Amino acid sequence: MADTTPQAIEVNCETGIVTTRDLTADEIAAQAVAAQAAADQKAAADAEAAKVAADKAAAQAKLAALGLTADEIAAITK
């Protein structure tokens, strides 16, 4: 079975030596935490974007109900 352990590269800026090694268990755990943090952050951003889009659509619907045309709504919401 092939070795599927993620690898890391370290470039020593003083010596120029490049080392490629397997991630340690701690580093793999830290990467999992980072992945979860990234997922959480993306979910929060997506939720915020969805709320903004929903609020915009609701506002446009209310403006239309007041009698504004689509062009008039576009003109004031750009």
Q: Which residues bind other proteins (CB under 8 A)?
A: 6-16, 18, 20, 23, 27, 30-31, 33-35, 37-38, 41-42, 44-45, 48-49, 53
What are the tokens at 26?
């701690």
> Could you tell me which residues are beta bridge partners of residue 20?
9
Q: Which is nearer to other proteins, 6 or 67 (CB)?
A: 6
CA gap 10, 21 in Å, rounded: 8
Q: What are residue 54's phi and psi, to 5 degrees? A: -65, -40
What are the tokens at 54?
């929903």
CB of 25 to other proteins, least distance (A): 13
CB of 63 to other proteins, least distance (A): 19
Amino acid at 51: K
CB of 17 to other proteins, least distance (A): 10
